[in-house]
Homo-oligomer: A and B are copies of this chain.
Amino acid sequence: MVQPAVADQVFDALSNSTRRKVLEQLSAGPATVSELAAPFDMKLPSFVQHLSVLEESRLVKSKKRGRVRTYEIVPERFKVAENWLTARREEWEARLDRFDQYVKQLKEKE
């Protein structure tokens, strides 16, 4: 079971397209704030807010060395979202299977 607060944070972080693009970049490997910000037409302080949201959700983590902050993906955290989606799929698939069984039985009775 997923604690609700955690799923809230994770799905909230994923709900913004800028943040998802950052996660796409980071999936290719660690990167600094400037590197991550470069593709976006956005002022740095605005962009950095998105990085904060991502870090608070723990989908990413960062470390500062000198004046450079480097971000990287935290793979485990993605499971919160993956697990939630998988659980839903399993529920409705089980239900649809039961429905198929039911229809099959009806046909056999004819």
Residues of A within 8 A of B (CB-CB), count: 27
Contact A17 to B28, CB < 8 A, known contacts A81-B85, A85-B78 = no
Cβ A78 vs Cβ B73 within 8 A: no
Which single member of B11, B16, B89 contacts A78 (CB below 8 Å)?
A: B89
Report whether over half of chain A's contact residues are helix, strand or loop; otherwise say mixed. helix
Q: In the complex this chain forms, how many copies of it are found?
A: 2
Cβ A81 vs Cβ B81 within 8 A: yes
Contact A20 to B11, CB < 8 A, known contacts A29-B95, A78-B85, A88-B78 = yes
Which residues from chain A sit less than 8 Å from chain B, CB to CB?
4, 7-8, 11-12, 14-17, 20, 23-24, 27-29, 73, 75, 78, 81-82, 84-85, 88-89, 91-92, 95
